[in-house]
Structure 1
Amino acid sequence: MKPLELVIERIILGSRWLLVAFYLGLAISLAIYAVAFMAKLFKVGANIFAYSEGEMILAMLGLIDAALVASLVVMVMIAGYENFVSRFDVNDGELAWLGKLDAGSLKIKVASSIVAISSIHLLQVFLNAQQYDNWKIAVLTGIHLSFVVSALLLGFLDNMMGGKNKT
């Protein structure tokens, strides 16, 4: 029975390499998103004198939103690969800028990024409030608040679990 158990364990552990296809797909999608970002940036640049102040603020918020989404994708790729597939073989300190991204802290950072992205989207809605009915604004605000509460609860739970692990 032990040889069968070893084979099963090797298959299960080896299956983590299937995740690489997802991370490579995210890298490709990030490159595609970078092209879309550059198109948005070009559009903003081409209309620099045509946009009103409000339109320019909305355009800049769109660019900030895109940067946050791209950062979220990079964070998930790097932390996911590092935590679930294999450690990066790099020189000492080369990834020191990355900080600690274990599964717990990744959840907190992802939740924080989602709140930031949602905040920017909601700000865009508020700046264009005349284009939305009150019900849609209320629903979007409720969704944003659910993201905020979720992030706070994740932070609280992570802090609570961290306190137990340190003692």
Structure 2
Amino acid sequence: MSENNKIESFLEKAIFHSRWLLAPFYLALIGGIVVLFVKLIKEFSTVVNIVMGGDGNAVLSILSLVDITLIANLLVIVIFSGYENFISKLDVAHNSPDKPSWMGKVTYADLKLKLIGSIVAISAIDLLKAFVNIESTSHENLAWLIGIHMTFLVSGVLFALMDRLSGKH
């Protein structure tokens, strides 16, 4: 083996194994789900207090629960599909009846569409919260929320269109 081949082989192995540097990022996202769980418990206690005491808007608090859940779902999608697309296949649930049907089947193109779909849904929930609480939402804030939501929506449609035009789906 020549010196150039040894260097090339070492470089290729280093590049190949460097994908494992992404693992701490996915562990941090799992930590993010734990933080969201704590936030969910806090928000749920707010919902219970509102229902029992009558102070506040239960619909807004329930929409916050939906928002937190959508963000947690987004994190799970990113963790599973990112790990499988960039690090290694997950074999832990190979024959498990609990294995999600999409697990192991989400390509990078699918991941982009799922991400933008989740972001659009989260944005829609925030917009709905503003409409439910319209009397305390400024016109400027509402305009920003609508503009941002429309930007996400158009971006999602363009992502889907680009994938369709490229023949991936």
TM-score of the aligned structures, taking structure 2 as reference length: 0.89
Say which structure, 1 or 2, has more relative contact order (CA 8 Å, 6+ apart): 1
2:60 corresponds, among 48, 55, 58, to: 58
Question: 1:23 maps to which residue?
Answer: 26
How many residues matched? Answer: 163
Q: Percent identity?
A: 36
What is the Cα deviation at residue 113 of structure 1? 0.3
The DSSP-based 3-state class of the residue aligned with 1:101 is coil
1:85 corresponds, among 82, 87, 93, to: 87
Change (3 A) 1:59 1:92: same
Question: 1:116 maps to which residue?
Answer: 121
Q: Which one has the bigger helix percentage?
A: 1
* d(CA) in 2 for partners of 1:24, 1:96: 20
Gaps of 5+ in 1: none
Question: 2:40 maps to which residue?
Answer: 37
Moved more, 43-52 or 140-149: 43-52
4+ residue stretches of structure 1 with deviation over 3 A? 92-96
What is the Cα deviation at residue 96 of structure 1? 4.9
* d(CA) in 2 for partners of 1:83, 1:131: 44
TM-score of the aligned structures, taking structure 1 as reference length: 0.90
* d(CA) in 2 for partners of 1:43, 1:71: 22
Question: 1:144 maps to which residue?
Answer: 149
* d(CA) in 2 for partners of 1:11, 1:128: 54
Gaps of 5+ in 2: none
Moved more, 83-92 or 4-13: 83-92
| RMSD of aligned residue pairs (Cα, Å) | 1.8
* d(CA) in 1 for partners of 2:111, 2:76: 12
Question: 1:75 maps to which residue?
Answer: 77
The DSSP-based 3-state class of the residue aligned with 2:149 is helix
Deviations 1:41-89 (A, max 9, x none): 122112213337x811111110000000000001100000000000011
The DSSP-based 3-state class of the residue aligned with 1:98 is coil
Question: 2:101 maps to which residue?
Answer: 97
